[in-house]
Structure 1
Amino acid sequence: MPGRPGRVGIGRVAGDVVALALLPVPLALAAWAGSFAGGGTRRWFGRGESGRADAQVAKDAAAAAFYDLDTAQRDLRISLEVITAVDDSAAARKAASDFAAIGQRIDQVSHEYITAVDSHDLDRDDLEASAAARASSELTRAKAELDRTKSDLDRFAQGLAPLLRTAETQLARLAPAVERARQALLAASNALDAVRASGLRADDLAARLAALSPELTKLNQGAGQHGVQETIRRADHVLRAAEGVRGEAERLPATAAEIDKRLVSLRTRAEAITTRTEGVEPVLSELRRRYSAACWQDLQPVAEQAAGSVTQAEAKLKEARAARDEQRWPDAISLLSTARALLNTTDEAVSAAGERLRRLNEVSHDQTGEIERTRFALRDAQRLAMAGRNTPDPRHARPLDDAVARLDRAVAGLEGRHPDWWHFLTETEAVRQSVARVVQEIREERGAAGG
Structure 2
Amino acid sequence: MRDLCVLVLAPLPLLAAALPLAVTGGGTRRWFGGRGESQRAEAQAAKDAAAEAFYELDTAQRDLKISIETITAVDSSPAARKAVEDFAALGRRIDEASHAYITAVDAHDLDRDDLEPSVASRARAELTSAKEQLIRVKGELDRFGAGLGPLLGSAETQLARLAPAVERARQALLGASNALDSVRASGLRADDLAARLAALAPELTKLNQGAGRHGVTETLQRADRVLRDAEAVRAEAEKLPERAAEIDRRLVTLRTRAQALTTRSASVEPVLSELRRRFSAACWQDLQPVPEQAAVNVRRAEEKLKEAAQARDEQRWADATSRLSTVRALLNATDEAVSAAGDRLRRLDGVAKDPQQEIERTRFAIRDAQRLAMAGRQTPEPRHARPLDDAVARLDQAITALEHRHPDYWHFLTVTEGLRRTVADVVADIREERGAGSH
TM-score (norm 1): 0.85
Once the two structures are TM-superposed, the CA of residue 450 in structure 1 deviates from its matched residue by 4.8
Aligned partner of 1:9 in structure 2 is: none
* Aligned with residue 87 of structure 2, among 99, 109, 125: 99
From the superposition, tell whether residues 312 and 138 of structure 1 become closer, same or farther in structure 2 (CA, over 3 Å).
Answer: same
Q: Matched residues in 1 for 2:174 and 2:245: separation?
A: 26
Superposed CA deviations along residues 306-348 of structure 1, whole A, max 9, x for unmatched, are 1100000000001111111112111111111111111111111
From the superposition, tell whether residues 382 and 87 of structure 1 become closer, same or farther in structure 2 (CA, over 3 Å).
Answer: farther
Q: Does 1:152 align with 2:137?
A: no
Q: Matched residues in 2 for 1:135 and 1:383: separation?
A: 112
Aligned residue identity for 1:140: T
Aligned partner of 1:394 in structure 2 is: 382
Aligned partner of 2:19 in structure 1 is: none
User: Partner of 1:122: helix, strand, or coil?
Assistant: coil
Once the two structures are TM-superposed, the CA of residue 370 in structure 1 deviates from its matched residue by 2.5
Comparing 106-115 and 156-165, the one that deviates more: 156-165
Aligned partner of 1:38 in structure 2 is: none
* Aligned with residue 195 of structure 2, among 207, 227, 230: 207
Q: Does 1:240 align with 2:228?
A: yes
Aligned partner of 2:285 in structure 1 is: 297
Aligned residue identity for 1:45: G
Question: For this pair of structures, how many residues does the alignment match?
Answer: 409
From the superposition, tell whether residues 263 and 128 of structure 1 become closer, same or farther in structure 2 (CA, over 3 Å).
Answer: same
Q: Matched residues in 1 for 2:150 and 2:297: separation?
A: 66
Aligned residue identity for 1:320: A
From the superposition, tell whether residues 376 and 79 of structure 1 become closer, same or farther in structure 2 (CA, over 3 Å).
Answer: farther
Aligned partner of 1:323 in structure 2 is: 311
Counterparts of 1:226-305 in structure 2 under 5 Å? 226-305=214-293
Aligned partner of 1:341 in structure 2 is: 329
* Aligned with residue 53 of structure 2, among 37, 53, 65: 65
Comparing 245-254 and 88-97, the one that deviates more: 88-97
Once the two structures are TM-superposed, the CA of residue 213 in structure 1 deviates from its matched residue by 1.4
Once the two structures are TM-superposed, the CA of residue 447 in structure 1 deviates from its matched residue by 4.4
Superposed CA deviations along residues 166-213 of structure 1, whole A, max 9, x for unmatched, are 222221221111111111111111111111111111122111111111
Aligned residue identity for 1:159: G
* Aligned with residue 69 of structure 2, among 65, 81, 86: 81
Q: Matched residues in 1 for 2:118 and 2:108: separation?
A: 11
From the superposition, tell whether residues 253 and 142 of structure 1 become closer, same or farther in structure 2 (CA, over 3 Å).
Answer: same
From the superposition, tell whether residues 339 and 393 of structure 1 become closer, same or farther in structure 2 (CA, over 3 Å).
Answer: same
Q: Does 1:177 align with 2:165?
A: yes
Q: Matched residues in 2 for 1:331 and 1:390: separation?
A: 65
User: Partner of 1:261: helix, strand, or coil?
Assistant: helix
Once the two structures are TM-superposed, the CA of residue 233 in structure 1 deviates from its matched residue by 1.5
Q: Matched residues in 2 for 1:298 and 1:56: separation?
A: 115
Aligned residue identity for 1:109: A
Identity %: 75
Once the two structures are TM-superposed, the CA of residue 291 in structure 1 deviates from its matched residue by 1.5
From the superposition, tell whether residues 216 and 377 of structure 1 become closer, same or farther in structure 2 (CA, over 3 Å).
Answer: same
From the superposition, tell whether residues 57 and 402 of structure 1 become closer, same or farther in structure 2 (CA, over 3 Å).
Answer: farther
Q: Matched residues in 1 for 2:179 and 2:403: separation?
A: 73
Q: Matched residues in 1 for 2:373 and 2:91: separation?
A: 80
Aligned partner of 1:4 in structure 2 is: none
Q: Does 1:352 align with 2:340?
A: yes
Structure 1 stretches lacking a partner, 5+ long: 1-42
Once the two structures are TM-superposed, the CA of residue 273 in structure 1 deviates from its matched residue by 0.6
Once the two structures are TM-superposed, the CA of residue 303 in structure 1 deviates from its matched residue by 0.8
TM-score (norm 2): 0.87
Structure 2 stretches lacking a partner, 5+ long: 1-30
Q: Matched residues in 2 for 1:344 and 1:285: separation?
A: 24
Comparing 439-448 and 221-230, the one that deviates more: 439-448
Q: Matched residues in 1 for 2:395 and 2:296: separation?
A: 39
Aligned residue identity for 1:284: L
Aligned residue identity for 2:180: L
Once the two structures are TM-superposed, the CA of residue 377 in structure 1 deviates from its matched residue by 3.1
Superposed CA deviations along residues 358-415 of structure 1, whole A, max 9, x for unmatched, are 1222222223333333333333433444445444333333333333333333333323
User: Partner of 1:271: helix, strand, or coil?
Assistant: helix
Bigger Rg, structure 1 or 2: 1
* Aligned with residue 403 of structure 1, among 361, 385, 391: 391
Aligned partner of 1:49 in structure 2 is: 37
From the superposition, tell whether residues 124 and 258 of structure 1 become closer, same or farther in structure 2 (CA, over 3 Å).
Answer: same
Q: Matched residues in 1 for 2:346 and 2:142: separation?
A: 90
Comparing 395-404 and 412-421, the one that deviates more: 395-404
Once the two structures are TM-superposed, the CA of residue 94 in structure 1 deviates from its matched residue by 2.1
